[in-house]
Amino acid sequence: MLQRQAAAPRNSRCQEFFALRIAATSEKGTAVLALKAMARRPWKEGEDRKWPKCWYAPIDSAPDALTAISFTLSRSVTAALSPGHAELLWLACDADEACGDIHPKAFEQTSMAGEPIFEASK
């Protein structure tokens, strides 16, 4: 897998969750499978679910997918999975082909701010 450099996500709770998990796997020497690389946030109550296979609101724009995939692949992950819709798979594939080094300000300039879909445990 290519080595990529990226900044941490903007949301500090996401940063904390990700850092704790990566540290734990590094200590144990285990592989990391990134399951929700394109998760934006939990669905809001009553929100129209454009992507019904997802239990969370996925990233579905090319710029945000590029940022999310670049961030995910810049970490010590073995592989990253896309959401369950074919359109989102192709979006992830296009992002993977396009990503490389990403400037830290790129994360601040996207619409990716939101709440994490998982909470970090202490």
Provide the pairing of β-strand 39-42 with 33-34.
unpaired
pTM for the whole structure: 0.68
Residue 119 belongs to a domain: no
**Reported confidence tier of residue 5, pLDDT bands at 50, 70, 90:** very low
Residue 34 scores a pLDDT above 60: yes
pLDDT, tens only, 63-102:
999 988 888 888 778 888 888 899 999 999 999 888 765 5
Tally of structural domains, the chain: 1
DSSP SS3 for 80: strand
Within a domain: 116: no
What pLDDT score was predicted for residue 109? 56
Provide the residue range defining the domain that includes 95.
Answer: 12-43+51-108
DSSP states along 21-43: HHHHHHHHT---EES-TTEEEEP
pLDDT of residue 55 exceeding 60: yes
- What residues contact residue 78 under an 8 Å CB cut-off, 6+ apart? 1, 31, 32, 33
Task: List helix spans (H) across 29-85.
Answer: 62-73
